[in-house]
Amino acid sequence: KQEVTQIPAALSVPEGENLVLNCSFTDSAIYNLQWFRQDPGKGLTSLLLIQSSQREQTSGRLNASLDKSSGRSTLYIAASQPGDSATYLCAVRSNFGNEKLTFGTGTRLTIIP
Amino acid sequence: EPEVTQTPSHQVTQMGQEVILRCVPISNHLYFYWYRQILGQKVEFLVSFYNNEISEKSEIFDDQFSVERPDGSNFTLKIRSTKLEDSAMYFCASRVPGQVYDGYTFGSGTRLTVV
């Protein structure tokens, strides 16, 4: 059974700093991994999708990496802004034939102005 | 940018009542899903739906739950007799396979409160 863990559970950093959020998963037989952002009481906004054959994906100030063999992914946020404050979730989709996403518990990020 | 639309955004219901949560997936998507998130807990998979039938369901998705795609646009989740522990945020999602982007698009959720 796939288990997804995110560390740390909460993180506070001053505005302008670069930061890294971590995601680990127990079963390396994944199809893809998706990072989401969730604002309090709101829905899930997709940030980046990494296929199992890829090593990283970039979108603006965000960069996600994937090391499938070690069961890890990181989300790097450059030059953080107060608007980046949210909970960040990673979700893993196992290999073809098993469509569901398995989510981590998230990292609650606070950017201090 | 295409969106998944969910209504209502918030629903309060009495224990034992039936509720229907509604979703309009992205028009060219073929796979549809329901997930839920109990306050403070992980987002959990409930059910996937493809070609007018359930393709996978979790152990949470018992006989009190059902899904339906009554027309070409809506996708609904029905809870027959709500319990207090059904209080959660319910998310609808859709996906189209075979595209460059094969990820999920989620709606903004329906917060269900059972009293």
**Average pLDDT, stretch A18-34?**
94
* B10-13 and B110-114 beta bridge pairing: parallel
Residue of B31, B101, B108 lying closest to A43 (CB–CB): B108
Inform me whether the C-beta atom of residue B102 falls under 8 Å from chain A C-beta atoms: yes
User: Could you give the CA distance from residue A24 to residue A71 in angstroms, rounded to a whole number?
Assistant: 5
Burial class of A56 by CB neighbour count within 10 A (0 to 12, 13 to 18, 19+): middle
pLDDT tens across B22-78, in order? Answer: 999 998 888 999 999 999 899 999 999 998 899 999 999 999 999 999 887 899 999
| pLDDT surpasses 80 at A20 | yes
Nearest-by-CA chain A residue for B95: A99
A33, A93 contact by CB (below 8 A): yes
SS3 A2: coil
The strand pairing partners of B112, in sequence order, are B11, B88
Tell me the chain B residues in contact with residue A51 when contact means C-beta distances shorter than 8 Å.
Answer: 102
What is the C-alpha to C-alpha distance for residues B4 and A15, in angstroms, rounded to an integer? 32
For A44-102, how does the pLDDT look when each residue is reduced to its tens digit (9 = 90+)? 999 999 999 999 999 999 999 999 999 999 999 999 999 999 999 999 998 766 688 99
Chain B segment 33-72 residues within 8 A of A by beta carbon are 33, 35, 41-45, 48, 55-56, 58
